[in-house]
Amino acid sequence: MKKIGLVVLCLVLAGAGLSRAGTRRRAGGTTITLLMRNKDEQFLKDYANNVQALAREKGVTVNLQDARSDGATQLTQLQTALNQGHKWFVIVSCVSGLSEQMNQLIQEKGGAADYSNIQSTTAALKVGKNFFFASSPEFVGGRYQGQLIADYFDKYPDKASRQDA
């Protein structure tokens, strides 16, 4: 999960580097807004914590928003952040269907966004060159996990046959 968080953070920071003139700056440096579908699910709690930790290491401030699984709330949070001058976003969408509208709003302000966990629509990614999807669907992640387990037991076959009571 830390690797996905690092990829997300790198993509957003790369997007931020494309146009530093309008970057929302605070005393600590660049600010990214992390729009979370919710923080109730353990995976998403861990995800948010990891993004915040990685951002802190890089001197980046995170504006964390919890939409409580409501797409309209998430859209309002985006509009508020844009009105406050924020331009760089990591988005775990409530619904993919809002991603094109969200990207159009971000594009108008010259910002960038990375979608993670919930894929944006293809049309949303085509809104501009600063929109990304950096994640893997669960069925892909499950294949990786399965392969990691298989590789582990190929390397340590004695552990597969050991029965612990």
CB-count burial class (<10 Å; 0-12, 13-18, 19+) for 78? buried
How far is CA 105 from each of CA 7, 33, 79, rounded to the nearest angstrom?
23, 14, 8
13-52 per-position pLDDT tens digit: 444 443 333 344 445 468 999 999 999 998 899 889 999 9
Of the candidates 91, 103, 35, the residue with the CA atom closest to the CA atom of residue 66: 35
102-122 per-position pLDDT tens digit: 999 999 999 999 998 887 888
Of the listed ranges 81-85, 105-109, 153-157, the least confidently predicted one is: 153-157
Q: Return the CATH number of 2-134, one of 3.40.47.10, 3.40.50.960, 3.40.50.2300, 3.30.450.20.
A: 3.40.50.2300
Greater confidence (21 vs 161) lies with 161
Question: Strand pairing of 29-36 and 25-26?
Answer: antiparallel
Domain boundaries, the chain: 2-134, 137-165
Q: What one-character-per-residue DSSP string does 29-40 give?
A: EEEEEEEES-S-
